[in-house]
């Protein structure tokens, strides 16, 4: 009920902002012919677009139907571009063509979506006209709870594959490049890529356990995943859990929260560049009856590994280029609190505990799911935001944490010390 109320208030707010613009747009929308071929208008050979890197997600500004400024996730792991806020298309009185069903990231939730034709999108100066996109009947993604800021949809491989995409995580810039004008710079190493329905797959040498040989596992390169690495146990005989793991929420995907085990992976290679001692997530695919949509992959390579590189996806020639950036050798950020937090409330300023890892410092301090964090030390959490507070729980072991929380009508003080529990 709480999330439904939040969603309704967001819809009313959006309606108040866009109502007048909607009336202007209706004349243009109804004058367009059905099934118009898509058009790409690109000024120059390269368009550079700034992005926000929010809690492991790449967020860009989109102009929707020439009037509404929205915020979309860049998601190479999504086959289609999806509007997750149906209130937008309802507001603009857009026509729904047919229904589609998709499997959610949790491999349980069936996502119900509607096709909308002749949608115009603009990314900075790139115009993507008369596109077909999907609109989910509900906000299954709910990624705004994890970014702490409004998110309206995801930009998928159906659009990204028209370009060579270059992502500079360090400077938070993404280049959309005309494939005919692309020439790779010095310092990059090439990784062969295969495309299936425009989604990029890589075979990367991976060593999960000590005293074992690396094996070439198949990964989906997924910029829509705010995690380092996810491996699917029972998808390959060599993929089984490390000796020490914890169970909990792995992250959030299209369909809801992903649950499984978290443990250390010894090494994964991108070209000749090894990534050592990273935190890996493990999902057991044997629990789910239908895994055909996985396309034979063994895992997902997410942003928290990719952001150590300058990354180029050359879709037309099916290849990826990587070049280490200044973050390449940094230790992996590891949560040392045991808290999994989300944003909620009308303006997403309320930070709530969604999950607590059993045996973690926060667990022994008596913090429980549903608790609302009000203050960090003497500062209101709104001063830090979700991303800033999460970063403080990744500080060095031994750091003292003081929180003021709300539980029902009670105000409680909780203290603990950060430590490694993975």
DSSP readout, 338-366? -EEEEEESTTS-EEEEEEE-TTSHHHHTT
**H or E segment at 299?**
strand 299-301
Instruction: Return the pLDDT at 66.
Output: 95
pTM for the structure as a whole:
0.84
Q: What does the pLDDT read at residue 295? A: 76
Could you tell me the CA-to-CA distances from 219 to 147, 159, 230 in Å, in that order?
Answer: 24, 21, 9
What residues have CB less than 8 Å from 196, skipping those under 6 apart? 295
Residues 6+ apart with CB under 8 A from 52: 58, 59, 60, 149, 172
User: Which of 12, 20, 162 shows the shortest CA–CA distance to 81?
Assistant: 162
**Nearest CA among 130, 113, 134 for reference residue 122:** 130
DSSP class per residue in 9-30: HHHHHHHHHHHHHHHHHHHHHH
Q: Which residue has the tokens 């309802």?
A: 90
Beta strands in 142-192 (DSSP E): 153-155, 164-168, 173-177, 189-192
- Residue 26: the pLDDT is 34
pLDDT digits (tens, 9 = 90+) for 286-338: 766 555 667 789 999 999 999 999 999 999 999 999 999 999 998 887 889 98
The pLDDT of residue 4 is 40
- For the chain, how far is it from start to end, CA to CA, in angstroms? 34
Tell me what pLDDT residue 36 has: 76
What residues in the chain have per-residue pLDDT under 70?
1-35, 103-109, 140-141, 251-257, 287-293
Name the token pair of 132.
Answer: 């077909």
State the pLDDT at residue 379.
Answer: 92
DSSP designation for 88: H
Look at residue 200 in the predicted model and tell me its pLDDT: 97
Phi, psi (rounded to 5 degrees) for 128:
-110, 100
Give pLDDT, residue 306.
Answer: 97
| pLDDT of the residue at 255 | 52
């Amino acid at each position: 009920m709480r999330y439904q109320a939040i969603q309704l208030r967001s819809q009313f707010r959006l309606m108040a902002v866009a109502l007048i613009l909607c009336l202007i747009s209706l004349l243009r929308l109804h004058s367009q012919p059905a099934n118009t071929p898509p058009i790409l208008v690109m000024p120059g050979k390269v368009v550079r677009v700034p992005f926000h890197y929010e809690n492991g997600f790449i967020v860009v500004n989109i102009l929707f139907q020439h009037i509404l400024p929205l915020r979309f996730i860049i998601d190479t792991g999504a086959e289609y571009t999806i509007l997750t806020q149906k209130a937008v298309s309802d507001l603009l009185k857009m026509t729904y063509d047919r229904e589609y069903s998709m499997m959610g990231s949790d491999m349980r939730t069936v996502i119900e979506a509607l096709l909308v034709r002749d949608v115009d999108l603009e990314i900075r100066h790139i115009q993507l006209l008369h596109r077909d996109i999907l609109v989910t009947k509900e906000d299954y993604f709910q990624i705004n709870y994890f970014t702490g800021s409004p998110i309206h949809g995801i930009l998928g491989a159906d659009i990204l594959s028209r370009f060579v995409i270059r992502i500079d995580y360090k400077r938070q810039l993404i280049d959309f490049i005309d494939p005919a004008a692309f020439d790779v710079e010095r310092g990059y190493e090439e990784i062969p890529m295969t495309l299936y329905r425009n989604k990029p797959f890589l075979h990367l040498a991976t060593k999960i356990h000590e005293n074992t040989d690396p094996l070439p596992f198949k990964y989906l390169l997924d910029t829509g995943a705010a995690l380092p690495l996810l491996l699917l146990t029972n998808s390959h005989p060599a993929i089984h859990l490390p000796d020490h793991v914890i169970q909990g929420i792995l992250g959030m995907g299209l369909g809801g929260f992903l649950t499984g085990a978290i443990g250390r992976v010894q090494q994964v290679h991108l070209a000749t560049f090894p990534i050592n001692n990273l935190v890996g997530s493990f999902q057991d695919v044997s629990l789910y009856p239908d895994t055909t949509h996985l396309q034979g992959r063994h895992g997902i390579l997410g942003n928290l590994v990719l952001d150590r590189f300058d990354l180029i996806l050359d879709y037309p020639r099916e290849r990826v280029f990587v070049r280490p950036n200044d973050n390449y050798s940094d230790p992996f950020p590891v949560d040392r609190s045991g808290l999994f937090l989300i944003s909620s409330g009308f303006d997403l300023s309320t930070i709530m505990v969604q999950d607590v890892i059993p045996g973690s410092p926060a667990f022994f301090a008596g913090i429980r799911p549903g608790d609302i964090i009000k203050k960090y030390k003497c500062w209101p959490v709104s001063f830090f935001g979700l991303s800033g507070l999460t970063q403080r729980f990744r500080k060095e072991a031994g750091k003292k944490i003081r929180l003021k929380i709300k539980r029902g009508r009670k105000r409680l003080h909780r203290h603990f010390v950060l430590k490694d529990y993975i």
